[in-house]
Amino acid sequence: MIFAHDEASFYRLQKEMQNAAESLGYSQVLEEDLRNATAQNELRAEAVELLQ
């Protein structure tokens, strides 16, 4: 992105990077990461309750 010479190039490069990330399975990784983060947060809350 820092290589863009103008705004049009910036947005073209941005779109290319977004397409590349999506084609590599970014959405699936994000979904799994969100599930893991949610589970981790629930376990932390449970641990706090047990310690009180």
SS3 string, the chain, reads: CCCCCCHHHHHHHHHHHHHHHHHCCHHHHHHHHHHHHHHHHHHHHHHHHHHC
Residue 2 has a pLDDT of: 73
1-47 pLDDT, tens digit each? 678 899 999 999 999 999 999 999 999 999 999 999 999 999 999 99
φ/ψ of residue 3, rounded to 5: -90, -5
3 part of a folded domain: no
27 part of a folded domain: yes
Domain holding 34, by residue range, is 23-52
Distance (Å, rounded) from C-alpha 50 to C-alpha 21? 41
17 part of a folded domain: no
16 part of a folded domain: no
32 part of a folded domain: yes
What is the number of domains present in the chain? 1
39 part of a folded domain: yes
